[in-house]
Chains A and B, each alone.
Chain A
Amino acid sequence: MGTAVEKILSRASGREVSAGEMIEAEIDVYMVHDPMGALVEDALRELGGRVKHPERVVAVQDHFVPAKDIESANLSKRLRDFCRIEGITLHYEVGAGICHIILTEEGHVAPGDVVVGTDSHTPTAGALGAFAVGIGATEMAVALMMGRLWFKVPETMLIRVNGSLPELVFAKDLILKLISIIGVDGANYKALEFDGDAVRSMAMDERFVLTNMSVEAGAKTAMIPPDSVTLSYLEGRISRAPRPEYSDPGSHHEVLDFDASSLEPLVALPYSPANVKPASEVGDEIDQAFIGSCTGGRMSDLIAAARVLRGRRVKEGVRLLVIPGSRRIYVEAMRNGILETLVESGAVVGPPTCGPCLGAHLGVLAEDEVAISTSNRNFRGRMGHPSSRVYLASAATVAASALRGKVTDPREVLA
């Protein structure tokens, strides 16, 4: 008897393992991005090693692209050169998209895989039933060289979300609620597993939001058992056979049941993703609204925003910034008229990049400014000046707030 995580790590380490054990697991997928590539390369050179399986490495230019200054350009160049020297061909150039979207959208992750990435939100890929974790650059160098990495097998906490999400309530509202319940370190060192009717009826776009933001509760990894939704998403994307694993009943270390039926649109106030209140009770004025990032720049987010914004105008004095999370999403939103709707409502549309999510470039906040954002972190200084403030919310709530110039429940706009 075991959890899905224990079963995946048993396969990857070649022996039966259970929670609490220290193991060494073979890595199926490695992800490296522009801010960390140079550090990874420096560490690898110091070790005198080479990349053991270049064909398993996915490199993505996403954080500081298109280069905003010379330092960023140099970082991108380092990653580019590293890929050439090490024979890494899966190198996604500027404009392809954000790493966590690319990894799944381009079919690099299959159920049952062990995935490591130099980014804390790597567990996003767990929505496909993979064991995916974020690691630092030095560890990445060691893993790339050895083909393996040590892990402590985590205990799994099952979060069963029953019922169904009400109208205009999204995965973002659900995960903010869950983070507020379990706390920003409530899942530290643990794996989270999401199941229940509300999760099973979610499309993949929404499921990725749950695993992505599990990190904001401290989770080591997060996963959703693969089902028919997962398999149809994977069809035509992956070339490898999926190796799905499922937790045996009773194998979870803890179980949390939550009924989603009475959820409402929520926001996380500064400076913590756990500082959650109903959008309808906040009403604070905003300067900027951002729809984008690895947890808020997918097609479903743009559709939800367009639904709220269609035929309406962003309030005078508010900047609405929209960044599709990948080129595929960008093209699709262009073809189906979503971008036109957004731009006509007053949005400015940027190229696929992390940009504003981490206060890197495009839409950096000034002193004391306030933003509402579909991204995943609202720590002090996250999107700009240390005195600026970020509210986290779903794309519908961000769009509604852009229309009114203050934090707004989208149900008020579409009522």
Chain B
Amino acid sequence: MIVRGRVIRYGDNVDTDVIIPARYLKHGSDASILRAHAMEDLDPMFREKVRERRIIAAGRNFGCGSSREQAVLALKHSGVELVIAESFARIFFRNAINLGLPLLELPSAWVIEDGDYVEAMLDEGVVLLPERGISLRGRGMPEFMLEIIKAGGLIPYLKRSV
């Protein structure tokens, strides 16, 4: 599985309260609300940026905080196709797999800069930055998690395997 595109870059500890503030959780999983308010407390320009750039790159502990699946849904509904980070908080990581949002844990993700063009090969855990002649390699994702992501999430995955 390969994801290509330009990057929006954030720092360490991007928490679920800034990905989607709790004040919007009362709307359940309403896609239009989640899309309208994703990342607004951290980056008011996110909605603009994500039109052109569909990959987020970040530092350590991306998605820390609450267990709200709306954090993953907010990114997905905004059009984010991949999150690359030095590390992920565990509940966010599981939620993303379960909802079919591709993630790549890459210890050297700090190399990636805002606006970089990226080619990410999820099966191998490799990220190419062709414009800068850089290639980065991480651990890749365990086979069964990739299967879930490719199926589009845990529910389609289970429905298919039944």
A380: Cβ under 8 A from any B Cβ: yes
Chain B residue with the shortest CB-CB distance to A360? B22
Q: Which of B1-60 contact A (CB under 8 A)?
A: 13, 15, 17-18, 21-23, 25-29, 40-42, 60
Q: How far is the CB of A139 from chain B (nearest CB, A)?
A: 6
Q: How far is the CB of B65 from chain A (nearest CB, A)?
A: 6
Q: Contact at A39–B23, with CB atoms within 8 Å?
A: no
Chain A residue with the shortest CB-CB distance to B29? A39
**Given the complex of chains A and B, what is the CA–CA distance between A138 and B97 in angstroms?**
10
Q: Contact at B155–A46, with CB atoms within 8 Å?
A: yes
A92: Cβ under 8 A from any B Cβ: no
Q: Which residues of A contact B116 (CB under 8 A)?
A: none
Of A182-190, A250-258, A323-331, A343-351, which stretch is located at the interface? A182-190
Q: Contact at A38–B29, with CB atoms within 8 Å?
A: yes
Q: Which of B15, B90, B95 is the one whose CB lies under 8 Å from A220?
A: B90
Q: How far is the CB of B3 from chain A (nearest CB, A)?
A: 22
A-B contact count (CB 8 A): 122
A177: Cβ under 8 A from any B Cβ: no
B135: Cβ under 8 A from any A Cβ: no
Q: Contact at B42–A35, with CB atoms within 8 Å?
A: no
Q: Contact at A138–B95, with CB atoms within 8 Å?
A: yes
- Contacts A136-B98, A138-B98, A382-B17 given; does A188 touch B89 at CB 8 Å: yes
Q: Contact at B159–A47, with CB atoms within 8 Å?
A: yes
Q: Interface code A161-175, partner B: CB below 8 Å = 1, 0 otherwise?
A: 000000000000000
Q: Contact at A42–B17, with CB atoms within 8 Å?
A: no
**Given the complex of chains A and B, what is the CA–CA distance between A299 and B95 in angstroms?**
34
Count of chain A residues with a beta carbon within 8 Å of a chain B beta carbon? 47
Count of chain B residues with a beta carbon within 8 Å of a chain A beta carbon? 38
**Given the complex of chains A and B, what is the CA–CA distance between A71 and B26 in angstroms?**
6
**Given the complex of chains A and B, what is the CA–CA distance between A36 and B22 in angstroms?**
12
- Contacts A139-B94, A185-B87 given; does A218 touch B64 at CB 8 Å: yes
Q: How far is the CB of A84 from chain B (nearest CB, A)?
A: 19
- Contacts A120-B67, A218-B89, A381-B41 given; does A185 touch B60 at CB 8 Å: yes
- Contacts A42-B29, A381-B21 given; does A120 touch B66 at CB 8 Å: yes
Q: Which residues of A contact B102 (CB under 8 A)?
A: none
Q: Which of A29-64 contact B (CB under 8 A)?
A: 35-36, 38-39, 42-43, 46-48, 63-64
Chain B contacts to A: CB under 8 angstroms: 13, 15, 17-18, 21-23, 25-29, 40-42, 60-61, 64-70, 72, 87, 89-91, 94-95, 98-99, 153-155, 158-159
What 4 new A-B contacts, CB under 8 Å, besides A136-B95, A139-B98? A47-B155, A64-B25, A185-B64, A380-B17
Chain A contacts to B: CB under 8 angstroms: 35-36, 38-39, 42-43, 46-48, 63-64, 69, 71-72, 74-75, 78, 117-120, 122, 134-139, 141-142, 184-185, 188-189, 218, 220, 272, 358-360, 364, 377, 379-382, 386
List, sorted by A's number, 9 A–B pairs whose CB atoms are closer than 8 Å: A35-B26, A47-B159, A74-B28, A78-B28, A119-B66, A135-B94, A185-B61, A188-B90, A379-B15
